[in-house]
Amino acid sequence: MGLELNELLDMAKRCRRNIVEMTSAANAGHPGGSLSAIDILCALYGTRLRVDVSNPQWADRDRFIMSKGHASPGMYSILHERGFLSSEDIMTFRELGSPCQGHVDMKWCPGVDFSAGSLGMGLSFGLGVALAARMQGSERTAWVMLGDGELQEGQIWEGAMAATHLEVGNLKVFVDRNGIQNDDFVTSQMRIFDVAEKFTAFGWTVKEIDGHDMQQICDAIAWADSIDDGPCCIVAHTVKGKGVSFMENNPSFHGMAANPEELIVAREELS
Protein backbone atom coordinates (compact mmCIF):
# COMPACT_ATOMS: atom_id res chain seq x y z
CA MET A 1 0.00 0.00 0.00
CA GLY A 2 2.96 2.26 0.74
CA LEU A 3 1.28 5.23 2.43
CA GLU A 4 3.23 8.36 3.36
CA LEU A 5 3.63 9.43 6.96
CA ASN A 6 0.92 12.09 6.84
CA GLU A 7 -1.47 9.60 5.26
CA LEU A 8 -0.76 7.12 8.05
CA LEU A 9 -1.43 9.80 10.65
CA ASP A 10 -4.75 10.64 9.01
CA MET A 11 -5.63 6.97 8.84
CA ALA A 12 -4.85 6.52 12.53
CA LYS A 13 -7.14 9.40 13.41
CA ARG A 14 -10.01 7.94 11.37
CA CYS A 15 -9.43 4.58 13.02
CA ARG A 16 -9.47 6.12 16.49
CA ARG A 17 -12.80 7.75 15.74
CA ASN A 18 -14.22 4.45 14.52
CA ILE A 19 -12.92 2.59 17.56
CA VAL A 20 -14.69 5.00 19.86
CA GLU A 21 -17.86 5.07 17.73
CA MET A 22 -18.27 1.30 17.35
CA THR A 23 -17.64 0.53 21.01
CA SER A 24 -19.96 3.31 22.09
CA ALA A 25 -22.69 2.08 19.75
CA ALA A 26 -22.29 -1.42 21.14
CA ASN A 27 -21.99 -0.05 24.67
CA ALA A 28 -19.30 -2.70 25.08
CA GLY A 29 -15.91 -3.73 23.83
CA HIS A 30 -12.32 -2.75 24.48
CA PRO A 31 -11.39 0.74 23.33
CA GLY A 32 -8.28 1.17 25.52
CA GLY A 33 -6.15 -1.59 24.02
CA SER A 34 -7.41 -0.78 20.53
CA LEU A 35 -6.31 2.84 20.83
CA SER A 36 -2.88 1.83 22.14
CA ALA A 37 -2.34 -0.57 19.23
CA ILE A 38 -3.80 1.40 16.36
CA ASP A 39 -0.73 3.35 15.27
CA ILE A 40 1.15 0.07 14.85
CA LEU A 41 -1.75 -1.44 12.90
CA CYS A 42 -1.85 1.56 10.59
CA ALA A 43 1.87 1.32 9.88
CA LEU A 44 1.69 -2.42 9.22
CA TYR A 45 -1.43 -2.38 7.06
CA GLY A 46 -0.54 0.93 5.44
CA THR A 47 3.02 0.17 4.44
CA ARG A 48 3.97 -3.44 4.85
CA LEU A 49 1.43 -6.28 4.88
CA ARG A 50 0.85 -7.93 1.54
CA VAL A 51 -2.85 -8.78 1.63
CA ASP A 52 -5.47 -8.80 -1.12
CA VAL A 53 -8.93 -7.52 -0.33
CA SER A 54 -10.32 -9.19 -3.45
CA ASN A 55 -8.88 -12.52 -2.34
CA PRO A 56 -8.68 -12.60 1.46
CA GLN A 57 -7.59 -16.25 1.44
CA TRP A 58 -4.68 -15.66 -0.99
CA ALA A 59 -2.26 -18.39 0.10
CA ASP A 60 0.86 -16.26 -0.06
CA ARG A 61 -0.49 -13.27 1.82
CA ASP A 62 1.36 -12.08 4.88
CA ARG A 63 -0.41 -13.06 8.07
CA PHE A 64 -1.26 -10.66 10.85
CA ILE A 65 -2.18 -12.43 14.07
CA MET A 66 -3.88 -10.29 16.67
CA SER A 67 -3.26 -12.35 19.76
CA LYS A 68 -4.82 -9.78 22.09
CA GLY A 69 -8.15 -10.48 20.44
CA HIS A 70 -10.12 -8.06 22.57
CA ALA A 71 -8.49 -5.26 20.54
CA SER A 72 -11.02 -6.19 17.89
CA PRO A 73 -12.29 -2.62 17.38
CA GLY A 74 -8.76 -1.72 16.35
CA MET A 75 -8.68 -4.63 13.89
CA TYR A 76 -12.08 -3.81 12.44
CA SER A 77 -11.16 -0.17 11.99
CA ILE A 78 -7.99 -1.04 10.07
CA LEU A 79 -9.74 -3.75 8.03
CA HIS A 80 -12.29 -1.11 7.13
CA GLU A 81 -9.47 1.16 5.95
CA ARG A 82 -8.14 -1.63 3.75
CA GLY A 83 -11.60 -2.39 2.34
CA PHE A 84 -12.32 -5.72 4.01
CA LEU A 85 -15.24 -4.25 5.98
CA SER A 86 -17.72 -1.52 5.11
CA SER A 87 -18.59 1.39 7.38
CA GLU A 88 -21.93 -0.32 7.95
CA ASP A 89 -20.19 -3.57 8.92
CA ILE A 90 -18.11 -2.03 11.64
CA MET A 91 -21.10 -0.36 13.22
CA THR A 92 -22.68 -3.79 13.74
CA PHE A 93 -19.86 -4.63 16.18
CA ARG A 94 -21.01 -7.27 18.70
CA GLU A 95 -24.49 -7.58 17.15
CA LEU A 96 -26.04 -10.93 16.32
CA GLY A 97 -24.74 -12.13 12.96
CA SER A 98 -22.10 -9.40 12.64
CA PRO A 99 -18.74 -10.11 10.99
CA CYS A 100 -17.39 -7.98 13.82
CA GLN A 101 -17.61 -10.49 16.65
CA GLY A 102 -16.66 -9.43 20.17
CA HIS A 103 -13.21 -10.90 19.68
CA VAL A 104 -11.61 -11.24 16.24
CA ASP A 105 -12.69 -14.44 14.53
CA MET A 106 -11.34 -15.85 11.25
CA LYS A 107 -14.60 -17.66 10.60
CA TRP A 108 -16.65 -14.50 10.74
CA CYS A 109 -14.51 -11.70 9.37
CA PRO A 110 -12.69 -11.42 6.04
CA GLY A 111 -9.06 -10.42 6.50
CA VAL A 112 -8.79 -12.02 9.95
CA ASP A 113 -6.29 -14.89 10.03
CA PHE A 114 -6.65 -16.04 13.62
CA SER A 115 -9.58 -16.62 15.96
CA ALA A 116 -8.49 -14.97 19.18
CA GLY A 117 -10.13 -14.14 22.46
CA SER A 118 -8.21 -16.40 24.79
CA LEU A 119 -4.90 -14.76 25.61
CA GLY A 120 -1.53 -16.41 25.12
CA MET A 121 -2.25 -18.40 21.97
CA GLY A 122 -1.35 -16.10 19.09
CA LEU A 123 2.42 -16.43 19.27
CA SER A 124 2.21 -20.22 18.93
CA PHE A 125 -0.18 -19.89 16.00
CA GLY A 126 2.16 -17.38 14.37
CA LEU A 127 5.03 -19.78 14.86
CA GLY A 128 3.07 -22.48 13.04
CA VAL A 129 2.28 -20.07 10.23
CA ALA A 130 5.94 -19.03 9.99
CA LEU A 131 7.18 -22.61 9.98
CA ALA A 132 4.75 -23.53 7.24
CA ALA A 133 5.89 -20.60 5.10
CA ARG A 134 9.51 -21.59 5.55
CA MET A 135 8.82 -25.22 4.68
CA GLN A 136 6.99 -24.13 1.55
CA GLY A 137 9.78 -21.76 0.52
CA SER A 138 7.37 -18.82 0.66
CA GLU A 139 8.46 -15.29 1.51
CA ARG A 140 5.30 -14.56 3.44
CA THR A 141 5.82 -13.31 6.97
CA ALA A 142 3.94 -13.84 10.21
CA TRP A 143 3.39 -10.66 12.23
CA VAL A 144 1.98 -11.15 15.70
CA MET A 145 0.71 -8.57 18.14
CA LEU A 146 0.83 -9.44 21.83
CA GLY A 147 -0.47 -7.47 24.76
CA ASP A 148 1.80 -6.93 27.73
CA GLY A 149 -0.65 -8.38 30.26
CA GLU A 150 -0.84 -11.38 27.97
CA LEU A 151 2.83 -12.08 28.65
CA GLN A 152 1.71 -13.47 32.00
CA GLU A 153 0.43 -16.55 30.15
CA GLY A 154 2.90 -19.44 30.25
CA GLN A 155 2.19 -20.46 26.68
CA ILE A 156 3.80 -17.24 25.44
CA TRP A 157 7.13 -18.43 26.78
CA GLU A 158 6.65 -21.93 25.39
CA GLY A 159 6.25 -20.28 22.01
CA ALA A 160 9.13 -17.86 22.57
CA MET A 161 11.47 -20.72 23.43
CA ALA A 162 10.35 -22.79 20.44
CA ALA A 163 10.72 -19.90 17.98
CA THR A 164 14.37 -19.51 18.92
CA HIS A 165 15.02 -23.24 18.92
CA LEU A 166 13.51 -23.53 15.45
CA GLU A 167 15.32 -20.38 14.25
CA VAL A 168 12.33 -18.91 12.48
CA GLY A 169 13.37 -15.73 10.73
CA ASN A 170 9.93 -14.91 9.35
CA LEU A 171 8.21 -14.40 12.70
CA LYS A 172 7.92 -10.78 13.85
CA VAL A 173 6.26 -9.74 17.09
CA PHE A 174 4.98 -6.43 18.38
CA VAL A 175 4.33 -6.17 22.11
CA ASP A 176 1.78 -3.46 22.85
CA ARG A 177 3.34 -2.38 26.14
CA ASN A 178 0.51 -0.21 27.44
CA GLY A 179 0.90 -1.22 31.07
CA ILE A 180 -2.74 -1.96 31.81
CA GLN A 181 -4.71 -5.19 31.89
CA ASN A 182 -8.32 -6.03 32.69
CA ASP A 183 -8.42 -5.42 36.42
CA ASP A 184 -5.76 -2.75 36.85
CA PHE A 185 -2.23 -1.71 36.00
CA VAL A 186 0.06 -4.58 35.05
CA THR A 187 2.40 -3.60 37.88
CA SER A 188 -0.35 -4.26 40.42
CA GLN A 189 -1.57 -7.54 38.94
CA MET A 190 1.65 -9.34 38.05
CA ARG A 191 4.78 -7.37 37.30
CA ILE A 192 6.44 -8.46 34.09
CA PHE A 193 9.52 -6.29 34.60
CA ASP A 194 11.75 -5.68 31.59
CA VAL A 195 10.00 -7.19 28.58
CA ALA A 196 12.88 -6.55 26.19
CA GLU A 197 15.27 -8.27 28.58
CA LYS A 198 12.99 -11.29 28.84
CA PHE A 199 12.74 -11.77 25.08
CA THR A 200 16.47 -11.18 24.76
CA ALA A 201 17.06 -13.88 27.36
CA PHE A 202 14.94 -16.23 25.24
CA GLY A 203 17.27 -15.60 22.30
CA TRP A 204 15.19 -13.07 20.38
CA THR A 205 16.48 -9.96 18.66
CA VAL A 206 14.72 -7.08 20.35
CA LYS A 207 14.10 -3.38 19.74
CA GLU A 208 12.20 -0.87 21.87
CA ILE A 209 10.25 2.01 20.37
CA ASP A 210 7.63 4.62 21.10
CA GLY A 211 4.52 2.88 19.79
CA HIS A 212 2.83 6.16 18.95
CA ASP A 213 5.68 7.66 16.91
CA MET A 214 4.70 6.70 13.36
CA GLN A 215 8.20 7.19 11.98
CA GLN A 216 9.70 4.99 14.69
CA ILE A 217 7.10 2.31 13.99
CA CYS A 218 7.83 2.35 10.25
CA ASP A 219 11.56 2.21 10.92
CA ALA A 220 11.04 -0.71 13.30
CA ILE A 221 9.09 -2.62 10.66
CA ALA A 222 11.97 -2.16 8.21
CA TRP A 223 14.40 -3.23 10.95
CA ALA A 224 12.35 -6.37 11.63
CA ASP A 225 12.32 -7.19 7.93
CA SER A 226 16.10 -7.05 7.90
CA ILE A 227 16.37 -9.86 10.46
CA ASP A 228 16.10 -13.30 8.94
CA ASP A 229 18.14 -15.57 11.19
CA GLY A 230 15.66 -15.83 14.04
CA PRO A 231 12.56 -14.29 15.60
CA CYS A 232 12.47 -10.62 16.48
CA CYS A 233 10.40 -8.58 18.86
CA ILE A 234 9.51 -4.91 18.90
CA VAL A 235 8.52 -3.74 22.34
CA ALA A 236 6.30 -0.75 21.62
CA HIS A 237 5.78 1.51 24.59
CA THR A 238 2.24 2.78 24.29
CA VAL A 239 -0.49 4.53 26.23
CA LYS A 240 -3.72 2.68 26.84
CA GLY A 241 -6.59 4.71 25.43
CA LYS A 242 -4.20 6.96 23.45
CA GLY A 243 -5.92 9.91 21.82
CA VAL A 244 -8.92 10.24 24.11
CA SER A 245 -8.00 12.20 27.23
CA PHE A 246 -10.27 10.52 29.74
CA MET A 247 -9.36 7.05 28.46
CA GLU A 248 -5.60 7.57 28.49
CA ASN A 249 -3.81 5.45 31.06
CA ASN A 250 -7.16 4.67 32.67
CA PRO A 251 -7.76 1.00 33.53
CA SER A 252 -11.52 1.56 33.50
CA PHE A 253 -11.47 1.85 29.72
CA HIS A 254 -9.82 -1.50 29.14
CA GLY A 255 -13.24 -3.03 28.68
CA MET A 256 -15.71 -0.15 28.82
CA ALA A 257 -17.15 2.04 26.09
CA ALA A 258 -17.68 5.78 26.17
CA ASN A 259 -21.18 6.76 27.31
CA PRO A 260 -23.12 9.30 25.18
CA GLU A 261 -21.71 12.32 27.07
CA GLU A 262 -18.18 10.98 26.89
CA LEU A 263 -18.64 10.19 23.22
CA ILE A 264 -19.25 13.86 22.49
CA VAL A 265 -15.97 14.76 24.19
CA ALA A 266 -14.09 11.98 22.41
CA ARG A 267 -15.42 13.09 19.01
CA GLU A 268 -14.18 16.62 19.64
CA GLU A 269 -10.75 15.41 20.67
CA LEU A 270 -10.46 13.18 17.61
CA SER A 271 -11.85 15.67 15.10
Partner 1 sequence: MSGISTPGASRDGYGAALLRLSEDSRVVVLEADLGKSTKSCHFRDKFPERTVCLGIAEQNMMLVAAGMATSGYVPFASTFAIFTERGFEQIRNGIARPNIPVHICGSHGGIHTGTDGSSAQSIEDLSIYRTLPNLTVIHPCDDYSAEELTVQLLNHAQPSYTRTVRNKVPRTYTADSVTNLRIGKGSVLREGGDVAIIACGVMVHEAVVAAEVLSQQGVEATVVDMHTLKPLDEELIASLAAKCGAFVTAEDHSIIGGLGGAVAEVLSSTHPAPLERIGVSDRFGESGGADELLEMLSMKSSDISGAAVRSIARK
Residue 230 sits in the site that holds partner 1 (CB under 8 A): no
Q: What is the DSSP string of 34-47?
A: HHHHHHHHHHIIII
Does 28 bind partner 1 (CB under 8 A)? Our answer is: no
- Nearer of residues 172 and 240 to partner 1, judged by Cβ: 172
Residue 131 binds partner 1, judged by CB under 8 A = yes
Provide CB contacts within 8 A for 250, sequence distance 6+: 32, 180, 240, 241
Beta bridge partners of 205: 232
Binding range to partner 1, per CB under 8 A, among 48-56, 123-131, 199-207, 235-243: 123-131
CB contact at 8 A, 126 and 171: yes
Interface with partner 1 (CB under 8 A), residue from 154, 226, 260, 261: 154
- Shortest Cβ 176–partner 1 spacing (Å): 19
Q: Does 161 bind partner 1 (CB under 8 A)?
A: yes
| Closest alpha carbon to 112 in 163, 171, 53 | 53
Using the rule CB under 8 A, give the single segment among 34-42, 130-138, 237-245, 263-271 that binds partner 1: 130-138
Distance CA 241, CA 238 (A): 9
203 binds partner 1 (CB under 8 A): no
Q: Of residues 23, 72, 98, 124, which one binds partner 1 by CB under 8 A?
A: 124
Burial of 15 (0-12, 13-18, 19+ CB in 10 A): buried
Interacting residues of 1 by C-beta distance below 8 A, sequence separation 6+: 45, 46, 47, 82
Residue 59 within binding range of partner 1, rule CB under 8 A: yes
11, 44, 75, 129: residue in contact with partner 1 (rule CB under 8 A): 129
In whole angstroms, how far apart are CA 244 and each of 19, 69, 102, 240, 253?
A: 11, 21, 21, 10, 10
Residues in 62-91 at the binding interface with partner 1, rule: CB under 8 A: none
* Given 2, 107, 137, 260, the residue binding partner 1 (CB under 8 A): 107
User: Could you say which of 21, 39, 62, 113 contacts partner 1 (CB under 8 A)?
Assistant: 113
Give CA–CA dist 36/178, Å, rounded.
7
Neighbours of 242 (CB within 10 A): 21
Q: Shortest gap between Cβ of 160 and partner 1 (angstroms)?
A: 9
Least CB distance to partner 1 at residue 141 (A): 12
Pick between residue 157 and residue 185 the one whose CB is nearest to partner 1: 157
Q: Binding residues for partner 1, per CB under 8 A?
A: 59, 105-107, 113, 115, 117-118, 120-122, 124-133, 135-136, 142, 154-155, 158-159, 161-162, 165-166
